[in-house]
């Protein structure tokens, strides 16, 4: 930690009010170039504390920047971990109000729900699969609070990894007999295919993203609790959306996830 608790709190307030007011801000490392990755996670934890103090609950966990397509698009080559809150959840087929967002983009993701806790260090794909209750298809709507959606590793971690909204599909399947590496995803925007990928785009196997999250938490003395909903990260690059757009992602074996931006 290179900064004092007061600075952590003021940067958490800076970023969280930008989120709540749908207002873009200058990235935090411009004024604080000495910030470390641990500082970034401390700011993210302070944002969680602010939301929980207002009665919000953590609805899930996420990994991001887990595919080459995403890393290349954002210029950050290290996976990041963030939090999903109750108010970010939108029903499948539902409407997303763009007036509440800055410059949203959508991502197709495979999400895991656990039946047993996962604790690192040394967590691996096999341990994740053994602890998985079922997988569900999901779309994440990310919305960096930073100008022009541009950031560095520390800044995006502090900004709760751009978490904004998420939509979960209604087909839940146990992983028995499924190969998540070859599971295909096709994203359509207004009826046109705009992106496609297979599960292996995420770290070779999407369960690897969950394993890395468990190992990340272990370094902080935490585990992923049983029952957790966890998103493994966008398999393709993220696609910008605006009011009037419809998104539908078809997942092989898992049905489809759709939403409209209004
Ligand atoms: C950071 C969040 C990335 C993903 O799935 O890769 C993410 C960003 O790109 O704004 O959620
Ligand atoms: Mg994502």
Most informative mutation of 210, 233, 241 for ligand 1 (most atoms within 8 A of CB): 233
Q: Answer yes or no: is the C-beta of 156 below 6 A from any ligand 1 atom.
A: yes
Instruction: Report how far residue 53's alpha carbon sits from residue 198's, in angstroms, rounded to the nearest whole number.
Output: 39
Q: What is the pLDDT of residues 204-254, one digit of tens each?
A: 999 999 999 999 999 999 999 999 999 999 999 999 999 999 999 999 999
| Residue 153 CA to ligand 1 centre (angstroms) | 11
Q: How many CB atoms lie within 10 A of CB 4?
A: 9
Q: How many CB atoms lie within 10 A of CB 34?
A: 9
User: Which ligand has the minimum distance to the alpha carbon of residue 44?
Assistant: 1
Options 1.10.10.60, 3.40.50.300, 3.90.110.10, 3.90.850.10; CATH of 58-261: 3.90.850.10
pTM: 0.98
Question: In this structure, which residue's CA is closest to atom 10 in ligand 1?
Answer: 162
Distances in Å between the alpha carbon of 58 and those of 1, 214, 243? 25, 17, 27
Contact yes or no for 110/232 (Cβ under 8 A): yes
Atom of ligand 1 nearest to the CA of 66: 6
Query: To which H or E segment does residue 207 belong?
Result: helix 206-218
Q: Answer yes or no: is the C-beta of 203 below 6 A from any ligand 1 atom.
A: no
Is the pLDDT score of 115 beyond 70? yes
| Residue 109 CA to ligand 2 centre (angstroms) | 7
Atom of ligand 1 nearest to the CA of 162: 10
**What share of the chain has pLDDT > 70, as a percent?**
100
Q: What is the pLDDT of residues 146-175, one digit of tens each?
A: 999 999 999 999 999 999 999 999 999 999
Q: Answer yes or no: is the C-beta of 92 below 6 A from any ligand 1 atom.
A: no
Question: In this structure, which residue's CA is closest to atom 1 in ligand 1?
Answer: 161
Region 84-108: what's the mean pLDDT? 98
Instruction: Report how far residue 146's alpha carbon sits from residue 31's, in angstroms, rounded to the nearest whole number.
Output: 13
For the chain, domain boundaries: 58-261
Residue 135 burial by Cβ neighbours in a 10 Å radius (0-12, 13-18, 19+) = buried
Region 88-115: what's the mean pLDDT? 98
Cα 105 to chain centroid, rounded? 12
Region 190-205: what's the mean pLDDT? 98
Is the pLDDT score of 74 beyond 70? yes
Tokens matching residue 130: 């053994």
Is the pLDDT score of 1 beyond 90? no
User: Which ligand has the minimum distance to the alpha carbon of residue 157?
Assistant: 1
Q: What is the pLDDT of residues 24-65, one digit of tens each?
A: 999 999 999 999 999 999 999 999 999 999 999 999 999 999
Please report the pLDDT score of residue 230 as a whole number. 99
CA angle 236, 99, 257 (to 5 degrees): 35
Q: Answer yes or no: is the C-beta of 143 below 6 A from any ligand 1 atom.
A: no
Please report the pLDDT score of residue 251 as a whole number. 98
């Amino acid at each position: 930690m290179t900064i004092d608790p007061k600075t952590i709190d003021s940067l958490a307030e800076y970023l969280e009010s930008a989120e709540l007011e749908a207002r873009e801000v200058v990235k935090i490392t411009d004024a604080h170039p000495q910030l470390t990755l641990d500082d970034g996670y401390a700011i993210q934890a302070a944002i969680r504390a602010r939301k929980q103090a207002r009665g919000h609950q953590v609805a899930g966990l996420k990994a991001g920047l887990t595919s080459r397509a995403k890393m290349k698009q954002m210029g950050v080559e290290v996976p990041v971990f963030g939090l999903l809150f109750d108010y970010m959840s939108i029903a499948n087929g539902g409407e997303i109000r763009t007036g509440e967002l800055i410059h949203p983009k959508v991502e197709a993701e495979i999400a895991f729900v656990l039946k047993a806790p996962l604790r690192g260090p040394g967590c691996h794909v096999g341990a994740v699969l053994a602890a998985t209750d079922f997988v569900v298809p999901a779309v994440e709507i990310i919305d960096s609070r930073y100008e022009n959606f541009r950031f560095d590793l520390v800044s995006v971690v502090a900004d709760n990894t751009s978490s904004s909204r998420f939509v979960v599909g209604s087909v839940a399947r146990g992983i028995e007999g499924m190969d998540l590496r070859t599971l295909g995803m096709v994203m359509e925007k207004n009826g046109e295919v705009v992106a496609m990928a297979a599960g292996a785009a995420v770290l070779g196997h999407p369960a690897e993203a969950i394993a890395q999250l468990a190992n990340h938490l272990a370094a902080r003395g935490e585990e992923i609790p049983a029952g957790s909903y966890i998103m493994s990260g966008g398999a393709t690059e993220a696609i910008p959306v605006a009011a009037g757009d419809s998104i539908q992602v078809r997942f092989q074996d898992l049905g489809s996830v759709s939403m409209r931006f209004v």
